[in-house]
Chain A
Amino acid sequence: MAKIQLEHVEKYFGDVHVVKDLNLAIEDGSFTVLVGPSGCGKTTTLRLIAGLETITSGRIVIGDRDVTALEPKDRNVAMVFQNYALYPHMTVADNIAFGLMARKTPQDEIERRVHRAASMLDIESLLKRKPKQLSGGQQQRVAIGRAIVRNPNVFLFDEPLSNLDAKLRVEMRTELLKLHRELEATVVYVTHDQEEAMTMGDRIVIMDGGVIQQVGTPREIYFHPRHRFVAGFIGSPAMNMIEGRLEDGEFISSHFRIPLDGPAFEGDVILGIRPEDIYLPGSLPAERETPVLTAKVEVIELLGARAIVPLLVNDLSMRAVIDERHLEQVQEGGSMSIVFDRNRLHLFDAANGERIE
């Protein structure tokens, strides 16, 4: 097991600057998720760590070894690809053993380790099959087995669950986390799915345009997004963003005003309110409620225990998440009173998107 350090890493593909001065320390034994929209450089970063792409400049250290100039085979990392990349002409057992054979591991040792990995993943009965004869979920397990059997320093996962159906995906998430705990391994996990990032990572790295926007625990990222991009990217349904300006401690938009205490900032800002921080008046302690606003209810999208309610507040479209128990007070096409949770308001500088404390 090992920590990973990326220092001033730059990557160009021709003229395209894909990764820009990336600095990141990934702790030993952590489960770090790289997340961002497609084209943000997350997969490239993972491939740089694996050595499948050479870095344009900078340094990558795994454990105490500078691996910048090393071939993938010499970095002692294991990678699980999105499409599993199982060798079609080999049996499951040979697929799992392939990496050990490269390292000239003795045959009995290979067999022992393959069986151990297979039993951890519950695929012992499949060892003699060819990849074609497996379901997507089983192929996924084989790909993971191939990674763990080698006992590598670092596990790299490139969107490993995105080809599975929703139910299996949720199951595999739990299983991967259990596996991570069992192996005490350093894991770097790439996904574009913010929910996957939130549920799996003990640290989340949010990237956009080749730059790290924020690194933090899921809680930090969710409650204290440092940038407008992070705020909008994490959370579903997405945070409501309202353009306006701050004057004398008051947020003023063309739709409503909210007196705030705290920020000394003056100028154009964006006010962010998560849909789940919108309430009916009276559900919060009085000091946390903002002044009551009247909103027109467009439709009600019931999810079960909660409902997503698209609203119009003086012609401003917003979304609220309302507890099912309060829904009787709300009618499609009718109007409702809403308040925001003062403690959960996010302010961003309209000029550069940075958070205003």
Chain B
Amino acid sequence: MNRSRHFRETLVNGGLNLILVIALIIVLFPYFWIFLTSLKPVDLVARPEVWIFSPSLFNWRDVLLNSDVPRYLLNSVIVALSTVGVALVVAAPAAYSFSRFNTGGGATRFSILAAEMLPPAVLIVPLFLLMFRLALLNTHLAIIAAHLTFVTPVITWFLIGFFDEVPKDLEEQAMVDGYTRFQAFYKVVLPSVRPGLAAAAIFGFVLSWNDMFYALILSGGDSKTLPVAIAGYWTFRGIEMGKMAVAILVAIVPVLLASFFIQKYLVKGLGGGAVKY
């Protein structure tokens, strides 16, 4: 009996592992394929059925050293970091206020997501005209402003749940201890939702990082972001698959790095229930 139970457990574990492996393959295979493509010599790039070839670093050298991709990478970093920075500064107090004071009632809380529900195409025309009038087209500022329109509401919404979980006692204790309400927020409440802030930051960063639509229309030339640049490898002469593959991999790295460093917070944050006593 014991043996059959042991056998069953092994079977179940094996089955679960198999599912995990399949899931991993589904997720990772495209990356692997892109990586292979980036190493293919020019004549093999358009032939996906070829698996065995002698790898060449030609594409990598060309993209990293002889193109503007590094500059677009920098643009993307500037835009994403600025967006996240501004969004956090606005979203944290806003979320706190929704959570603690139910500011504006349930309707307001919900309506901040309105921008999220519109197709971006609706917003882009007014934004374009606005930026044109302000002479901000083709600048980082234009893209940052556009990204803020969807990043801020999302992370505000995201953070409300975290503030909900901070016991009210905590800030009241700080106020009795001699701090103003704002100091209590800053010194006690904010540190208590650190996992949420980290998760929100990553979340916002990825949203901004991955956007092509707004960046494509509001930027150009020097202010281009990386997704726009990647799309740029789709030229009149066809897709420059090898170089595009390199650029795609370059675009993935920062997000991967950031997630890695704050994964501890990220798991706690995305799992919710971050602040337990």
Contact = CB atoms under 8 A, between A and B. Distances in A.
Interface of A: 50-52, 71-73, 75, 77-79, 81-83, 85-89, 98-99, 102-103, 131-132, 146, 150, 156
19 contacts: A50-B176, A52-B175, A71-B180, A73-B178, A78-B177, A79-B172, A81-B169, A81-B172, A83-B167, A83-B169, A83-B277, A87-B170, A87-B173, A88-B192, A89-B191, A98-B177, A102-B177, A102-B178, A102-B179
Contacts of B194: 89
Interface in B225-252: none
Contacts of B177: 73, 78, 98-99, 102, 146, 150
Interface in B164-193: 167, 169-170, 172-180, 183, 188, 191-192
B63 interface: no
A72 B170 contact: no
A98 B188 CA distance: 10
A85 B172 contact: yes
A98 B171 CA distance: 12
Contacts of B277: 83, 86, 88, 131-132
B275 interface: yes
A79 B174 contact: no
Contacts of A78: 176-177
A88 B268 CA distance: 15
Given A52-B172, A146-B177, A156-B176, 13 more contacts: A50-B172, A72-B176, A73-B177, A73-B179, A78-B176, A78-B177, A81-B169, A83-B169, A85-B167, A87-B192, A99-B178, A102-B177, A102-B183
B275 A71 contact: no
Contacts of A89: 191-192, 194
Contacts of A85: 167, 169-170, 172-173
A82 B183 CA distance: 23
Contacts of B175: 51-52, 71-73
B176 A73 contact: yes
B148 to A, nearest CB: 29
Contacts of A79: 172-173, 176
Contact of B178 (A50, A52, A88, A103): A103
B118 to A, nearest CB: 36
A86 B175 CA distance: 13
B183 to A, nearest CB: 8
Q: State which size class the interface on B falls in.
A: 10 to 19
A82 B168 CA distance: 12
Interface of B: 167, 169-170, 172-180, 183, 188, 191-192, 194, 275, 277
Given A87-B188, A88-B275, A73 B180 contact: yes
Nearest to B184: A73
A87 B179 CA distance: 14
A85 B175 CA distance: 12
Contacts of A88: 192, 275, 277
A51 B173 CA distance: 11
Contacts of A71: 175, 180
Contacts of B172: 50, 52, 72, 79, 81, 85
Nearest to B177: A99
A79 B175 CA distance: 10
Contacts of A75: 176
Contacts of B183: 102
A32 B167 CA distance: 27
B176 A52 contact: yes
Contacts of A102: 177-179, 183
Query: Which among B172, B173, B188 has the highest number of chain A CB atoms within 10 Å?
Result: B173
B167 to A, nearest CB: 6
A284 to B, nearest CB: 50
Nearest to A78: B176
Nearest to B189: A87
A77 B176 contact: yes
Contacts of B178: 73, 99, 102-103, 150
Contacts of B173: 79, 81, 85, 87, 146
Nearest to B166: A88
B100 to A, nearest CB: 13
A83 B169 CA distance: 8
A99 B174 CA distance: 7
